A and B are shown apart, each in its own frame.
Chain A
């Protein structure tokens, strides 16, 4: 094992072949705090030497690239952090074929499913990061009526799963992830692996607390309009958007405060309704997106007088949308409402 001073080289193995759009890989290239170059070139103090095996930008191809994953599956790559992008389909609901594969099985010549990779790699990983809402909770591909039985990594491995280093699955939701939210979580974990940081603080849905403790509304610069009871009925105005579909009051996400990149962009702060894309209940519990959320009627009417009551009403709604829908699970039955044709 080559080392960099006293620290071993940390490998980051990235599987982008969950049911994904690769939007989290692409978003990571937008990160600047830190940037991917900062991490790879080791320009941050205390950072161990890191080698990425990341399909989006990797120099290597094919078996040469896959061999790192095979080595890891034999316990020959130590330590490594596994990043999973995309939801995990249910491969048990059909007799043959695959919903998604990553590399080939040298024995059969058939694709190795992402599920098989999780089974092979999870025992050896120092940490597993679920990047984006698909990997964390199932996301868009786990929508009602989906044919693949898609679910999140914790649904697949079990919510109480712990790595050999004692880490739960680290979930960084967002559709896609806010770029710096992911790069900063990776930075934290690399520092933890190097012994520079204590256990990463996570909430009950395995999100880093410092990124996901507050709601969209609590960080939204349109909250002043809410307070003044100014609610727009049209898109493209400066007032509060809750009456035209914004779920900000009950969604845990820091985007309005952090912006999308370099403080620019976002959602309700720039005129886009919050559709709850960081939440376990996304997307079903927020659809139809452009309708007023059911809880908004009472809360926006009574806001000024009953602040305390509003907080408790909101926490009830938050509790509901902070849970996944019931059809995201393992097992031979498909319960999404889709009638299999195979």
Chain B
């Protein structure tokens, strides 16, 4: 292990962090840094794990697919199970009873509340806590301790420094309160879907959950406690994040990339959705989070059929052989549109394990892209919330009282709760797609999900009170069929594509958000979003290279909410000029 004896000037220094902690899964970061210009010069992204779902699902009973695909992810497994049930509903031609869809929506809303909360407060915020800021930017800490928090009356912390202390790991009172809150929201989830994180009560055709008055009372009482908490969370994060813009002018450039956002929509409206592909444009637009692709701030489309047809899976730098010579499973979609050979319906996964070579193949992650007719766009999800809010705001379709999308913002109305009056939050489309805005959106989306849940409880109780308490519809598995499902995993776009032949799975390809965000250079040489966001970003950390923690890079990576059971590493490519591993601070932990 080499360490520089002095701070290099005018030299690029290779630094790596592998694994990155405080995410889900195994992630490493390898960067080449220009300390003189205080910039990250280069970056590549690679993954360290292969499990082979698409391989071992072949030939299995299609009804097993939601149980199996849930196991792809240990924090958003239920998003996979939900997406798989959507896919199966389409393939089997079954429409669940309305009540079942409201129950699924309530479970998924609880998942967003839980997951964004624990990730934000217990994993991301440690990068903004007193302990970390003191170690990386002592000047910023001094200023924070003296800066009054503008929303102190709402959240109870007088200064920004007090907020930073409150999010210190384990010791911080807000850190511990949030962890407890993440258990309350998981109880809400278990009420609807049985178990967190691999649900027991989701099925194609509906849910096994028994819908009773008690089910919704148990959920709603917890929801109102969470809403009370949220009324402190949103202003607290606004204060903390706004402070970074003020304390470190230019901080908006950290993690900034071109606005290339994708959102596949979330929360079906059972009054519109029939799961038929031919009607997907219509029911996609009725979702309570509107699907959309946003390029340079403009909405390109909110049509799920167009979104579906534009998906391409490129290989480039990943450890797989190409499948293009294999047969095509789906030549045309049910509307008669041609389906590309690089579309997930037509993909065959052919693993080819090999040594990691950063000039050639260096990742188990493939490179999903969206083809707009000219370019294969490396869309990102920004960790989920920023894309969801942006897409919903621009389309302006959602208007349910608790929420209104205005065309340039999303207004969220929360009712009175135990310790707080009614509250109105407005998320406004930001100027940048950057680290701070990705993190800020995560707090607002918790309020969005809670407001949606209030609406879903109203709707579910209407069904129940009208005596429509059935939660499952029977179906038959056809001999030959295709299906696709679209939703938002907590950290962004999620699609499943299935082909059934002879009553068995002939092809199944799930595309979760992390391959989009964490993909390596594709076959056109286009870097993936992590690589792109980190490459060229400024460095604000005050530490010299031998004590460098890479905090600004860590914040950027975590702003995407990496969920890496599919594993990712990031590497700064090129010739090794000087290699440094992250420094040691053993005195901080007892041996």
Chain A residues packing against B (C-beta within 8 Å) = 1-2, 9, 16-17, 19-27, 29-30, 32, 35, 37, 40-41, 49, 51, 55-68, 71, 77, 94, 96-104, 106, 109-111, 139-141, 143-148, 150, 175-176, 234-238, 241, 255, 259-262, 264-267, 270-273, 275, 277, 283, 287-290, 336, 338, 341-342
Contacts and interface: CB of A to CB of B under 8 A. Distances in A.
Interface stretch (B15-23, B34-42, B303-311, B400-408): B15-23
B190 A23 contact: no
Of B197, B350, B583, B584, which is in contact with the most chain A CB atoms at under 10 Å from its CB? Answer: B197
Q: How would you classify the secondary structure of chain A's contact residues: helix, strand, loop or mixed? A: loop
Interface in B51-79: 51-52, 55-56, 58-61, 63-64, 67-68, 71-75, 77
Nearest to B471: A236
Nearest to A36: B179
Contacts of B198: 23, 175-176, 277
Contacts of A30: 182-183, 186, 196
Closest 7 CB pairs of A and B: A272-B200, A23-B74, A265-B190, A97-B353, A62-B17, A271-B208, A21-B74
B565 A270 contact: no
B417 interface: no
B353 A57 contact: no
Contact of A22 (B179, B193, B211, B565): B565
Contact of B72 (A21, A98, A99): A21
Of B26, B203, B581, which is in contact with the most chain A CB atoms at under 10 Å from its CB? Answer: B26
Of A40, A65, A260, which is in contact with the most chain B CB atoms at under 10 Å from its CB? Answer: A260
Interface in B183-218: 183, 186-187, 190-191, 193-201, 203, 205-211, 218
A288 B64 contact: yes
Contact of B209 (A51, A103, A271): A271
Given A146-B55, A271-B194, 19 more contacts: A23-B198, A30-B196, A56-B21, A61-B582, A62-B28, A98-B353, A100-B48, A104-B28, A109-B356, A146-B52, A148-B52, A176-B74, A236-B208, A236-B209, A272-B199, A283-B67, A289-B64, A290-B64, A341-B350
Nearest to B566: A21
A271 B187 contact: no
Contacts of B586: 64, 67
Nearest to B583: A64
A60 B194 contact: no
Nearest to B208: A271
Interface residues of B, number: 98
A48 B209 CA distance: 42
B590 to A, nearest CB: 5
Given A111-B48, A283-B68, A24 B206 contact: no
Nearest to B470: A236
Interface of B: 1, 16-26, 28-29, 48-52, 55-56, 58-61, 63-64, 67-68, 71-75, 77, 100, 118, 122-123, 126, 131-132, 169-170, 176, 179, 182-183, 186-187, 190-191, 193-201, 203, 205-211, 218, 319, 321, 350-356, 470-472, 474, 549-550, 554, 565, 567, 581-586, 588-591
Contact of B182 (A24, A29, A97): A29
B77 A64 contact: no
13 contacts: A22-B75, A22-B565, A27-B197, A30-B182, A63-B1, A64-B586, A139-B71, A148-B52, A235-B205, A265-B193, A266-B200, A283-B64, A290-B64
A86 to B, nearest CB: 8
A265 B61 contact: no
Contacts of B203: 235, 290
